[in-house]
Structure 1
Amino acid sequence: MDLMQLRAMAKINLGLDVVRKREDGYHEVRMIMQTIRMFDRVTVYRIPEPEIRISSNLHFLPVNENNIAYKAARMMLESQPVRGGVSISLQKRIPVAAGMAGGSADAAAVLYAMNRIFYMGYTLEELMDFGLRLGADVPYCLMRGTALAEGIGEELTRLPACPPCYVVIAKPAISVSTRFVYENLRLDETTRHPDIYGLADAICRQDLYGMLPYMGNVLESVTIPAYPIIGEIKERFMENGALISLMSGSGPTVFALFDNYEMALRAKEALLEWGQVPLVYVTDLYRVREETPVNYW
């Protein structure tokens, strides 16, 4: 096997809480991660030259050691004595810097592909350990599906597949710095924390409507005052029949859940007609079932 084409899938956070700031400067989180059917197409093939080549359909994306996919490839090549190198093509569809783990998903795909192409023999758990050295979201992007994430995001517990529903994704034309969000997050007695364990319990009961009271994103307390467009998008979604609308990760992407496909389509059209959000997509959840291999790509 000298070539693999993979779907590097995006994620949303059905719930995101920050428990505390640790002494090492990292924030301890508690969140529910969910894969959605939006993906980058990652092609990895073996080349005889001992080098790493990256190309992308986005001209502004770095194609050198500043790209996390490049770092993933280098890590794998350095982990075992192998002959040759790799050429990686990234066809980006996941919005960049959007709180949807697009870069982490690409890195996860590279780790998975190189393990197969070079017959390295690593288990999924070992690949997840490699991924953690690249970023806190990479191990989850290898696992995929529905998961409770704790610690800095690396302590993962697989949950049953989330109840089916439709997801509308809206990405405003702004950028939000994750560092800015966490540096300005204030955790005190007035902070409203979403009940992540309650959300996990509702997912285990397969109760879509029972999930709603427990969902939330504590980081919105920073981003909405700083970037009011995020709050406005949430309001537009709710006015158009969403069950709930939240920011994903540290933003700026906002998603909404719907139990009706036609209503989801109407909400998409309403946001596009509003003219303040250039990127709006309708998709659904990627549900890992028992009969589906965890490493299905």
Structure 2
Amino acid sequence: MDDVTVTLKKSASIIKDEIDASLSNIIPQDLKNASIYLTNAGGKMLRPGLTLLTCQLVGGSESDAVKSGVAIELIHTFSLIHDDIMDDDEVRRGQPAVHVKWDEPLAILSGDILFSKAFEIALSLKESNPNVSSDAVLETLNTIADSCIKICEGQALDMSFEGNFEVCEDDYLDMIFKKTGALIAAATKIGAIAGGADLNDISTLYEYGKLIGLAFQIHDDYLDLTSDEESLGKPIGSDIAEGKMTLIVVNALEKANDEDKQTILKILKEENNSLEQIDQVMNLFNKYGSIEYASNIAQTYVNDAKKILSNFEDSYAKETLLKLADYVIGRST
């Protein structure tokens, strides 16, 4: 895990410097400050880290993928700003969300400008790497655009699940792929494109990203019930308190007898749950093995992702990508 953290910090430093340069000419100052705010707040920058690594995996250099990594991180940041507004979340990365520190109109504009800058940067790929073909630039743009469409669909599906306790596992997995996994898959794909990979390797690395993206979100659901408040930055069981549909909830509702199902539903539907009620639901999740089930599903996705890499030659990039697959379900935050 330490090797992965060091690698991500190194790539994050490179990406942050490039983002700072890319956003330096935004005016007025308030819009610039709001746009750069979350980047300065830290974050793992997992997605651009994956872009740099998959580029190196297929024979490219780290520098070949920097602009692609910046584009993907700007899309991610844009989505966070807008998500916080839609979800009325007041804290992001341990500090006030953008719309709280400024206001909603400026937050929306800062998200919009990050979205636009991402495509501007992707269009300029040939400036930093003349060897990139026009087809590669076009495919990078198509990949980013497709991920944006999927993010919007995923967010809409997530909102439609609120209060809908008939959601099945396949529907839930489709939602989290679109909301979370699609951008991670796009990150690994555009890295492969930047490295000059063939169509088969590009497709393979998109699948790798998809699998670890699914595992990443399921592990988030798992952490909500198994981590501690200090590490998580929010109360344990907050998904229960908010009545969110997660894989754990879906599985428990499918397995529970009528009495237990009604207990789970009653507590999920209540607006102000006590700690005792949250503990009661968690006990029922354990009774039906739903927490362990979610953990096992995430592990299966990680195992499948690692198998995908077996056809690539051994390298530092491959070793790190293997460790990164384990990292997404081994992290505590």
Establish whether TM, by shorter chain, passes 0.5. no
In proportion to residue count, which structure has more strand? Answer: 1
TM-score, normalised by the number of residues in structure 2: 0.30
Asked which structure has the greater CA Rg, the reply is 2
TM-score, normalised by the number of residues in structure 1: 0.33
Q: Which has the higher contact order (CA 8 A, sep 6+)?
A: 1
